[in-house]
């Protein structure tokens, strides 16, 4: 696949003015550049009925922060858009700055109620998570937040605490939160305590899914305390086996 091929796909989208849902998933290309994201964004911006958008890129080495920001700028024009799923994997030219700018752009979508952000196996750092928290808190109408931060090698309690305190507890409309932290080897019981304190401040929260599989520094006692502190919430699921 090349920029020319993706441009053809983008051009084809323009004919579906009543389209309500679209998923675009692309894998492994050293030829596709920001120009492709620009073409896709421009085509999507004309789909005024679009409510659901899923976008996945894997192993794209020439896609940069600028391309992701351009895509976000075009999506923000879709006032009926309710759901966005973004999966980024092994795109080494993308940084947390591009992701933050993307979220800043889509925060202007008034009807956006659901965000699914899959950054599994990325090189996100504590500083990146702290920056991300500043962008996420602007999604004021969000009701369903799904974050896949599995297999993060560099983050610690510091970054996740910033995310909890600076964004989670501010998103007052949240009803469902899903947080996948599988195989994050540096997080400890301290983070669970901070997360619990943040979630307790969300009066609308009904469901919590937390995955701690292979998080060897999280104890069973801390998990029990977490669930007990959130017993007022309708459903709380904590999955942690196996620990190692």
The dihedrals phi and psi of 42, each to the nearest 5 degrees, come to: -65, -35
DSSP letters spanning 199-241: HTT-TT--EEEEE-TT-TTS-HHHHHHHHHHTTTSSEEEEE--
Where does 17-31+48-239 sit in CATH, by number?
A: 3.80.10.10
Q: Which residue pairs, CB below 8 angstroms and at least 24 apart, start in 226-235?
A: 226/192, 226/193, 226/195, 226/196, 229/196, 229/200, 230/196, 230/199, 230/200, 233/199, 233/205, 233/206, 233/207, 233/208, 234/206, 234/207, 235/206, 235/207, 235/208
Confidence (pLDDT) at 28:
82
Q: Give residue limits of the domains in the chain.
A: 17-31+48-239
* Burial (CB count <10 Å: 0-12, 13-18, 19+), residue 43: buried
Q: Round to whole Å and give the CA distance between 179 and 227.
A: 15
Q: Round to whole Å and give the CA distance between 48 and 140.
A: 22
Confidence (pLDDT) at 243:
53
Confidence (pLDDT) at 70:
95
Residue recorded with tokens 């007990």: 228
Give, for all 244 residues of the chain, the pLDDT tens digit: 788 888 888 888 888 889 999 999 988 877 889 999 999 999 999 999 999 999 999 988 899 999 999 999 999 999 999 999 999 988 889 988 999 999 999 999 989 999 999 998 888 889 999 999 999 999 999 999 999 999 988 899 999 999 999 999 999 999 999 999 999 999 999 999 999 999 999 999 999 999 999 999 999 999 999 999 999 999 999 998 665 4
3-state secondary structure of 174: coil
Confidence (pLDDT) at 242:
61
Confidence (pLDDT) at 124:
85
Q: Round to whole Å and give the CA distance between 206 and 126.
A: 28
Q: Round to whole Å and give the CA distance between 107 and 9.
A: 27
């Amino acid at each position: 696949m090349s920029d020319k091929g993706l441009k053809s796909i983008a051009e084809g989208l323009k004919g579906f003015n009543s389209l309500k849902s679209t998923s675009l998933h692309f894998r492994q290309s050293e030829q596709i550049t920001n120009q492709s994201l620009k073409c896709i964004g421009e085509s999507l911006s004309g789909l005024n009925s679009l409510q659901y958008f899923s976008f996945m890129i894997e192993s794209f080495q020439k896609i940069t922060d600028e391309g992701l920001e351009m895509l976000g700028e075009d999506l923000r024009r879709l006032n009926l858009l309710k759901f966005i799923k973004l999966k980024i994997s092994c795109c080494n030219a993308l940084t947390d700055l591009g992701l933050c700018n993307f979220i800043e752009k889509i925060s202007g979508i008034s009807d956006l109620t659901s965000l699914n952000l899959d950054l599994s196996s990325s090189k996100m750092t504590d500083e990146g998570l702290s920056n991300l928290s500043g962008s996420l808190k602007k999604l004021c109408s969000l009701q369903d937040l799904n974050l896949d931060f599995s297999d993060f090698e560099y983050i610690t309690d510091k970054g996740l605490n910033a995310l909890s305190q600076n964004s989670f507890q501010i998103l007052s409309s949240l009803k469902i939160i899903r947080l996948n932290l599988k195989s994050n080897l540096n997080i400890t019981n301290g983070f669970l305590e901070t997360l619990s304190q943040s979630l307790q401040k969300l009066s609308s929260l009904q469901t919590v899914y937390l995955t701690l599989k292979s998080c060897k520094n999280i104890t069973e006692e801390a998990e029990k305390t977490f669930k007990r502190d959130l017993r007022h919430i309708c459903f709380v699921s904590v999955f942690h086996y196996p620990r190692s």
